[in-house]
Amino acid sequence: MQRTFASDNYSGVCPEVMEALQQANTGHVSGYGNDPFTNEAKQLFAEEFGPDCQVYFVYNGTAANVLSLRAMTRSYHSIVCSEHSHIYIHETGAAQSHTGCKVMALPSHDGKLSLETVQHAVERESYWGHHATKPKVLSITQPTELGVIYTPDEVKTLADYCHNNDLYLHMDGCRLFNAAASLDLSLAEASTEAGVDVLSFGGTKNGLMFGEAIVFLRPELAHEFDYLHKESLQLASKMRFIAAQYIPFLKDKIWHKNASQANRIARLLAQGLSQHPEIDISFPVQTNQIFATFPPSLIEELNVTFPFYTWNDTLHQVRLVTSFDNTEEDAQHFLEKVGVTFPIK
């Protein structure tokens, strides 16, 4: 089947992860995470994020986000996030319905929240005391839903504010790999060491078949999470098949190889698209997402043979997302249809 730039959820499973799944598919082992594959994966998380981290595997990214937030909140709390945040826009209100919390979506620049915006919103909500909600969690996405990266200093600035004002910092890391590879940082440098308290750790956008992880970087926040894990329908009986994928992913740094390839093809595409006189790149291309305005006729023509998403109909803005298995030939095919000469000069 043809590879496209519609979404990194469209891609298949990378060979190393498929091999790990096959290796896990032998013999009988204990269920519910009491198996050698899960134990090894958790040890690798500890080596990556620190010995005190607590890791729980769930089926998908929405569960990772929602359960992370549930562990940190009570129903009278509020959750602060960007107006572009996945928990606000694309998860069917799950964060609000499952936590009972008010979700406060704030204006942002390229999806990034500034300290001033967060501070103003928290102070305004806190002004009325117990007559309003109590802000408890700031949730940021790394990189943002618009593909732009928070630097470690920017994350630390937000983390310091949270910790000085009785808030926790949650990171939606569904594409954390792309950000870390672009910044040439370890996963810990892009999260733990910058002050993140709880991380939703993706993988399916970067070569895994299924399953995400919740990483508690402050272990006290995982108190009695075992019960919440089960109550929320996320305790996999054959957990080894989620966990086994993370063994080569972390141990052999497959995450870095896959993310670097996706980022490279995105840069190549962006470079080519910028040569077209009627195409404008909307945001800095720092990871594997490109947002650009296209002529309407070109959108319609391209979508016939190379499907992608139109992000904003009014602006004729499209989103292109590259995957670990996209190649230069894919970029060449697409750019030639756009009308850009390849190789790019």
Q: For residue 17, is pLDDT > 70?
A: yes
CATH fold for the domain made of 15-251: Aspartate Aminotransferase; domain 2 (3.40.640)
Amino acid at 218: R
Q: Average pLDDT in the 335-343 region?
A: 89
In angstroms, what CA-CA distances link 14 with 21, 220, 322? Answer: 11, 35, 14
**Which segment of 4-18, 89-103, 330-344 scores lowest on mean pLDDT?**
330-344
Reported confidence tier of residue 43, pLDDT bands at 50, 70, 90: very high
**Which segment of 111-115, 154-158, 304-308, 321-325 scores lowest on mean pLDDT?**
304-308
Residue 174: which of 215, 139, 219, 206 has the closest Cα? 206
Beta-strand runs (E) in 47-178? 54-58, 77-82, 102-106, 134-141, 168-173
d(CA 81, CA 113): 8
Q: Average pLDDT in the 221-230 region?
A: 98
- What's the order of all strands across the beta sheet hosting 309-312? 280-281, 289-293, 317-321, 309-312
Q: What percent of the chain has pLDDT over 90?
A: 95
Q: Average pLDDT in the 159-185 region?
A: 98
* Contacts for 267 with CB less than 8 Å, ≥ 6 apart: 285
Per-residue pLDDT at 306: 85
Q: For residue 305, is pLDDT > 90?
A: no
Task: Provide the 3-class DSSP secondary structure of residue 24.
Answer: helix
d(CA 206, CA 297): 32
Per-residue pLDDT at 6: 95
Sign of CA dihedral 200, 201, 203, 209: negative
From the candidate CATH numbers 1.10.10.10, 3.90.1640.10, 3.90.1150.10, 3.40.50.970, the one assigned to the domain spanning 254-338: 3.90.1150.10
Per-residue pLDDT at 328: 95
Residue 133: which of 104, 165, 94 has the closest Cα? 104
Q: Average pLDDT in the 112-132 region?
A: 98
Beta-strand runs (E) in the chain? 54-58, 77-82, 102-106, 134-141, 168-173, 198-201, 212-216, 280-281, 289-293, 309-312, 317-321
Q: Average pLDDT in the 285-303 region?
A: 95
Q: For residue 343, is pLDDT > 70?
A: yes
Sign of CA dihedral 182, 321, 325, 10: positive
61-113 pLDDT per residue, tens: 999 999 999 999 999 999 999 999 999 999 999 999 999 999 999 999 999 99
Summary mean pLDDT of the chain? 96
Q: For residue 129, is pLDDT > 70?
A: yes
Per-residue pLDDT at 114: 98
Per-residue pLDDT at 345: 59
Q: Average pLDDT in the 47-71 region?
A: 97
Boundaries of every domain in the chain: 15-251, 254-338
Q: Average pLDDT in the 302-327 region?
A: 93
Backbone angles phi, psi at 36, to 5 degrees: -65, -30
